[in-house]
Amino acid sequence: MRVIFMGTPEFSVPVLEALAAQHEVVAVYSQPPRPAGRGKALRPSPVQARAEALGLSVRHPLNFKAPEDREAFAALNADIAVVVAYGLILPQAILDAPKRGCLNIHASLLPRWRGAAPIHRAIIAGDAETGICIMQMEAGLDTGPVLLRETLAIGATETTGELHDRLSAMGARMICEALDRLDSLTPAAQPEVGVTYAAKIDKAEAKIDWSRPASELVRLVNGLSPFPGAWCEVAGERVKLLRAECVAGSGDAGTVLQGFDIACGTGAIRVLEAQREGKKPMPSAEILKGLVLPARL
């Protein structure tokens, strides 16, 4: 098939690689390079970097309002477009341009967690499972009919980073299957009930409030790991908490019980991995060799 690929972050890279190995990728669309690092030099997206390494043509229009951008897209004469975490709302003219339309790889069990941050939100909410949906795109936000879906259990202390990688690999496999079976798949409309929206993560969510129940804080820590990372202050230093589990214990909220076990509003959590300012992530046992916790955080 002649495929247009549209994606931007690391999550999209395995999908691009899988498609390039099995189909003719006629162009790659990605968000423009952004300033990054201390020098604020322009850095291409992970998709752009990988596409260029594969020798593929990369385009990054700011939007598709300009007629020349729409015309250039249509002129590719693609059979289908595959979209995964691209970062732009596509107008109807773009959705209609490929012969077989546009397919989206979405990292949730639609209609649950439509929107920007489905992996984070599934863990933070305590969902037992998530998955991938291959969806026919339409004008609404993640509202199109689903061609394929597959579920995946979420581990008890699994982080967003780990789940991200598993879902990315699943999406790469499933989109290739969907293209192979495209003529025999029957689109299924999403149900009207069970719709939730995965709002973009706000950094203000990341500060730990020890008065909350332990179960909620464990989900928050794991769901915000590795980015932006839940955090607390220890002797004036901001420490990121990157993995946690619930443990037996109680006390006033914020009391250090032993090691890196902290009492919460109800119950207690054990911090398993953390990161000090300017340091690499480490197991809590290693962190505590150089960080003295006060009696109460």
Two tokens at 264?
């919460």
Q: What sign has the CA pseudo-torsion 85, 88, 92, 95?
A: negative
Place of tokens 């990988």: 50
Cα 119 to Cα 160: distance, rounded to the nearest angstrom: 6
Cα 102 to Cα 88: distance, rounded to the nearest angstrom: 14
Q: Per residue in 118-148, is it b (16+ CB within 10 Å) or e — as a string?
A: bbbbbbbeebeebbbbbbbbbeeebebebbb
Q: How far is CA 112 from CA 18, 60, 96, 142, 173, in A?
A: 26, 30, 26, 10, 22
Region of 131 on the Ramachandran plot (φ > 0 left; ψ -120 to 50 alpha; else beta): left
> Binding residue per annotation — 54?
no
Q: How far is CA 249 from CA 215, 252, 253, 288, in A?
A: 13, 10, 11, 20
> Binding residue per annotation — 110?
yes
> Binding residue per annotation — 109?
yes
Angle subtended at Cα 61 by Cα 21 and Cα 45, rounded to the nearest 5 degrees: 55
Contact 103, 137 (CB under 8 A): yes
Binding-site residue ranges:
108-111
Binding-site residue ranges for (6S)-5,6,7,8-tetrahydrofolate:
108-111
